Every structure is written in C-alpha cells, then in structure tokens.
Amino acid sequence: MHLQKLELLNFKNYPDLSLDFSPDINCLVGANGSGKTNLLDAVYYLSLTKSAFHTTDAHSIKHEEALMVIRGWFKREENVDTVQCSLQQGQRKLVMRNRKEYERLSEHVGRYPIVLIAPNDTDVIREGSETRRKFFDGILSQIDSPYLQNLLRYNHALKQRNSLLKTFSDQGRVQHDLLEPFTLQLLQYGLPLLERRRLFMQEYMPLFEHHYRNLTDGEEKVFIRYETNLDDTNPEKLMQDNLQRDVALQRTRIGVHRDDYAFEIDGFSLKKYGSQGQQKSFLIALKLAQFDLLREHKGFKPILLLDDIFDKLDDRRMARLMELVSGHAFGQLFVTDARPERSARLFKDLSESEVVYFYVEKGTAVPVDEQTLLRD
C-alpha cells in the first residue's frame, strides 16, 4: 500500500499544494522551519484522522483561514482509494473515503496503517504513563477495531463515574446504588482491555527484542513490563475496597486507565539508568516492532515516516537502518532531512528503489533531482 498523490489546501503552512509520490522512497529536504514535518503530518492525518503533533484539530488550519482540506490517493494492489479530511473553523471534522463520509472516525483507523518515528518520541520514555498507554493503544487500535470501540466506551464510563464521584463529594453524600452500574461498566469494558493488552505484549516483545539486538549488537537485556492495578481474580472486591478513597479523591483509582508499561534495561529503569544511545535504540526498536506487527496483521507494509532522525543517529545505527531500507524491509518511506547532500549520498546507491526528492520552502514543495542536491 502506498500514497500516490497528496493535495493540501490551507493545511498548516501550505496554502495550496499537490504532490505525486514515489512508491518507494520520498525524501523531503529544506531548511529548518520550512514545513517538512508538516508534510509528514498531512500523511499521518490521512491515516489516523488527526495530527501527530497537535491535540487541537483547529491548529492544523492555516493561520487566519477558515477551511483546510487534506486529500490523498492510496494505492493497494490495483485499487486506488481517495481519502479526504476536511475541517472548517468551528465545525465538525469530516473524513470521507471514496467520497463517502464515515459515520464514526474510528472506522477509518487502521485501514491505511502508518508508523512515525520523530524526535518527540522520547516523550514516551520521559513523560508519564499516559504517553505509553497512548502509544500501545495506538497500535492496538490499528489492528483490533473492537478494542478501540471498547476503549472509547471505557473512557466514557470512566468520565461518568468520576463526574458522579465529584457530585457525591459536593453533596457530602454517597449513593452506592447509583455508583454501582458505572463500576460494573468499567469492569465490563476494562477486563477485556486488560486481557488484550497482556496478549498483545506476548506478541510484541519478541519483535521488539529482535530489533533492539539488531540495532545495538548489545549484550544488555531489554524488557517491557506491563503493569496494571486491576486484579482480575476478584475485581469487584478490589473496586469495592477502594470506594472510600475514590470518593475522597473524586476520581477512580483502580482500572486499566492507570496501566503503565515499564521500560527496563538489564532490570533497571531505562529512563533513570539508560544512556542516550540506549534510549535512542530502544525508541527505534519500539517503532520497528510496531511496523512489523502492523504488517503481520494487515498482510501488507504500513507507510513509514522518518522525521529528522538522521541527525539523531550515530553511524552504526544509521547503517543498520539503511540495511533494512535496502533489504526492502519497508514499503513506502517518507524521510525529512535538513541536509540534502547527506540524504542524497545515503540513497544514491539504492539502484532498485525509486527515490524522489522534494525541496520544501515557504509553503511549497517541488521535485528536484539527486544530482542538484549532490552538487550543492
């Protein structure tokens, strides 16, 4: 599966743009701040109906404009699907596939799988458990659509229960019989999520370990420990025992919304004790394992977006990654690089892949040939 063509109208810094892509390697070059990452984000948007970088949709609309449109042509085998995301200031986001609007955006997620490796990935190591849950939920949502439905319902029930706890606190009175249905809903939707997350880790870990070893030649043992405070032997009792504290804190303390994935290296916390290099390898292995898993479940290769990662990698890791590229481990690839001559040198020996370069500048992007970049 690959993206043949992309059209943008008022998306971020692009007033009006139309680009045709290579099914193999697309390299976006240009100065910092020229909008290379925004192009990757447009591709990401088409796949997951949201920006990889902004939580507020309206921030994706070009400054002082009222409407933005992203349109893409995805080709798989002989079929071409058009996907269009549009957003008008103050209105509901609209996603259409082959000119037909989705009833629910969640139906779109996973059809055109994508993996993004970007500099802000380090958040997944440094930030709180929410970023890690989001990362793994993002993968699960792309391979298991009932999981996503369950997750959305769980979050809704959680919001209702917390809202109720707050009401109880305001009124100074707890109505246990009213809290019970929400508690049961949390278990009804939460227990399958717990089960699915456990199962997922069994499938994901070997892929992850393989990529980590491959990137580092290292002896160190990496591990991802799935942690939950929901005990599935007697969850009703657990919820019951924590009721008083829930009321006092006005939020639900037990449940899969508090799950975490501990990243470990030789039994120690990666965040506290891992070196910069180990952390980088860990992150890339996380993403490459995500890529493999999506490919296995979908039966075709996801699109891979590499945002500005050449700056972050040392020669050995770089070489390992290029081995994967030249060995056709990936399908369509989008790469950004502020130093055009570096990318041109890296890709020039890949005779079997079609490499296309785009020079990005001030809201435009034009194809350039490799020789021009090497001369500069």
Footprint of another protein (CB under 8 A):
145-146, 149, 153, 156-157, 159-161, 163-164, 167, 175, 177-178, 180-182, 184-185
- Smallest separation, CB 34 to another protein (Å): 43
Maximal C-alpha separation, the chain: 76
Nearer to another protein, 191 or 368 (CB): 191
Q: Please name which of 126, 25, 17, 11 lies closest in space to residue 65, comparing C-alpha atoms.
A: 11
Nearer to another protein, 17 or 143 (CB): 143
The residue assigned the tokens 């909008």 is 35
Per-residue tokens: 217: 């030649």
Strand partners, 222: 265
CB of 160 to another protein, least distance (A): 5
Pairing between strand 268-269 and 364-368? Answer: unpaired
> Residue 149 or 364: which CB sits closer to another protein?
149
Round to whole Å and give the CA distance between 11 and 86.
10
Which lies closer to another protein via its Cβ, residue 69 or residue 105?
105
- Cα-Cα-Cα-Cα torsion 370, 371, 372, 373, nearest 10 degrees, comes to 50
- Residues forming beta bridges with residue 367, ordered by sequence position: 358
Report in angstroms the alpha-carbon separations of 301 from 24, 206, 328: 11, 19, 10
Rounded CA-CA distance 264/254 in Å is 24
Rounded to a whole number of angstroms, the minimum distance from the CB of residue 173 to another protein is: 11
DSSP string, 186-198: HHHHHHHHHHHHH
The answer to whether the CB of 106 falls within 8 A of the CB of 145 is yes
Nearer to another protein by Cβ, of 189 and 263: the residue is 189
Q: Rounded to the nearest whole angstrom, what is the least distance from the CB of residue 163 to another protein in the complex?
A: 4
How near is the Cβ of 249 to another protein at its closest, in Å? 16
Distance of alpha carbon 284 from alpha carbon 316, whole angstroms: 13
Strands (E) in 77-217, as ranges, are 79-88, 94-97, 100-101, 114-117
Task: Please report how close the Cβ of residue 178 comes to another protein at its closest, in angstroms.
Answer: 6
Report the SS3 class of residue 73: strand
Determine contact, residues 143/197, Cβ cutoff 8 Å: no
- Closest CB 302 distance from another protein, rounded Å: 23
Nearer to another protein by C-beta: 161 or 301?
A: 161
CA distance 248 to 245: 5
Of 163 and 234, the one with the shorter C-beta distance to another protein is 163
| Residue closer to another protein, measured from CB, 40 or 164 | 164
Angstrom distance (rounded) from CA 357 to CA 370 = 7
Query: Is residue 212 helix, strand or coil?
Result: helix
End-to-end C-alpha distance for the chain, whole angstroms:
34
* Nearest approach, Cβ of residue 167 and another protein (Å): 6
| Closest distance of CB 177 from another protein, Å | 6
Beta bridge partners of 5: 20, 73
Q: Which is nearer to another protein, 103 or 349 (CB)?
A: 103
Closest CB 146 distance from another protein, rounded Å: 6
CB closer to another protein, 180 vs 227: 180
